[in-house]
Amino acid sequence: MTLYDSIVIGAGPAGITAALYLVRSGCTVALVEQMTPGGQVLQTEAIENYPGFPKGIKGWELADTFAAHLDELTLDKFTGGVSSMSSADGVHSLTLDSGQTLSGRTVIVCSGAKHKALGVADEKRLTGHGVSYCAVCDGNFFRGQEVAVVGGGNTALEESLYLAKIAAKVYIIHRRDAFRGAKVYQERIASMPEKISLITNTVVDSLQGEGDLTGLTLRDVNTQATRLLPVTGLFVFVGYEPATGFLPPAVEKNKQGFVLTDAEMRTSLAGVFAAGDVRDKMCRQVVTAVGDGATAAQAAFVYLEQLHA
Ligand code: NAP
């Protein structure tokens, strides 16, 4: 079996950048991705804060340019999820869902994060029947209808602006009255009250609808008063949780499960690095994922050189 210099897990912005830097350093690289290259960028309508695109760029377009760059690289690509990882004598072995195993001297974990569920009754049953976690994927099903978005972060605000172009009305339901999302989005939302209404200090208590979603029962967290909001779509954007289920305990994580690294993206397990959204950090953006990927690759290269010295 090939012993790769590095195995990169995930082909989002962090993983693609790490692979690019490693290949250009002369390393042998395996890249494992379970879906299409691009990661969460593919689920984002437009990216406005990546330098070089003053008018913004569609998520799928940026993902396409990343994938085209990836296609130019000489590396081995594997499609599938990673189910487990073990390490012995400086060699890290990954088992893929297919049962295939891969071995590398270093591993760069760029497995990203997946959306969190709201955690209300019937959410699972109504997913695909009105409940969604991706406006770009499902927004069009709600053309001309009234929809709700839950959350107060950048994703909720950004995707509400996208949905406002399709839906008749968007209600943003947030459990506080202060938003984490960027001021630029808050101002844009405030400028279109006829399309987007803010419902603050409010949570979703339950979902209505037998076959498809017909409405939400909302509760004011101050007064505890409840009311029904009739909507046919509910978009849940309440944050992400890291995709780290396959990592051994030797790779330390924070309370939320994000991987702890130092400034050079080194984890607590020698030879294993982490980059992008899977990492414990303050700012989760495409631009920081790309930076993490480059740093992790450089640190892995230095580690490999020390092994060979
Ligand atoms: P986030 O920043 O963690 O925000 C999650 C939001 O959901 C918060 O407002 C939170 O409320 C709310 N929330 C969490 N659990 C909830 C629950 N059970 N019920 C109701 N509300 C709940 O997540 P995100 O917006 O997905 O962003 C994730 C990361 O990606 C962030 O670092 C963000 O900046 C970044 N991002 C950046 C961009 C951009 O720069 N354009 C776009 C998208 C995402 P509280 O505020 O009360 O905690």
99 alpha carbon – ligand 1 mean position (Å): 35
| Residue of minimum CA distance from atom 38 in ligand 1 | 154
181 alpha carbon – ligand 1 mean position (Å): 7
Task: Please identify which of the residues 64, 122, 138, 220 carries the catalytic annotation.
Answer: 138
pLDDT of residue 309: 85
Q: At which residue do the structure tokens 């029962």 appear?
A: 217
Question: What is the position in ligand 1's atom list of the atom closest to the CA of 185?
Answer: 41
110 alpha carbon – ligand 1 mean position (Å): 20
In 3D, which of 292, 260, 263 has the Cα closest to residue 275?
292
- Give catalytic status of residue 138 as yes or no: yes
Asked if 260 and 268 touch (Cβ cutoff 8 Å), the reply is: yes
Query: For ligand 1, is residue 284 a contact (CB within 6 Å)?
Result: yes
Q: pTM value?
A: 0.88
How many residues would you count in the chain?
309
Domain boundaries, the chain: 3-115+240-308, 123-236
Ligand 1 pocket, mutate which of 45, 180, 240 (most atoms under 8 A from CB)? 180
In 3D, which of 207, 203, 244 has the Cα closest to residue 224?
203
264 alpha carbon – ligand 1 mean position (Å): 26
Looking at residue 141, the DSSP 8-state letter turns out to be G
Question: What is the position in ligand 1's atom list of the atom closest to the CA of 282?
Answer: 32
Alpha carbons 156 and 169: distance in angstroms, whole number? 15
Alpha carbons 233 and 60: distance in angstroms, whole number? 23
Alpha carbons 115 and 129: distance in angstroms, whole number? 18
- Give catalytic status of residue 110 as yes or no: no
pLDDT of residue 308: 85
Which CATH fold would you assign to the domain 123-236?
A: FAD/NAD(P)-binding domain (3.50.50)
Domains 3-115+240-308 and 123-236 share a fold: yes
Alpha carbons 196 and 109: distance in angstroms, whole number? 38
Alpha helices in 25-139 (DSSP H): 59-71, 123-126, 135-138
CA-to-CA separations, 138 to 129, 134, 143, in angstroms, rounded? 10, 6, 10
Query: For ligand 1, is residue 238 a contact (CB within 6 Å)?
Result: yes
Ligand 1 pocket, mutate which of 44, 50, 134, 154 (most atoms under 8 A from CB)? 154
pLDDT of residue 43: 86
Q: What is the pLDDT along the chain (309 residues), one digit of tens a residue?
A: 899 999 999 999 999 999 999 999 999 999 999 989 999 999 888 899 999 999 999 999 999 999 999 999 999 999 999 999 999 999 999 999 999 999 999 999 999 999 999 999 999 999 999 999 999 989 999 999 999 999 999 999 999 999 999 999 999 999 999 999 999 999 999 999 999 999 999 999 999 999 999 999 999 999 999 999 999 999 999 999 999 999 999 999 999 999 999 999 999 999 999 999 999 999 999 999 999 999 999 999 999 999 988
Architecture of domain 3-115+240-308: 3-Layer(bba) Sandwich (3.50)
Query: For ligand 1, is residue 257 a contact (CB within 6 Å)?
Result: no
- Give catalytic status of residue 137 as yes or no: yes
| Residue of minimum CA distance from atom 9 in ligand 1 | 152
pLDDT of residue 19: 98
| Residue of minimum CA distance from atom 3 in ligand 1 | 239
1 alpha carbon – ligand 1 mean position (Å): 42
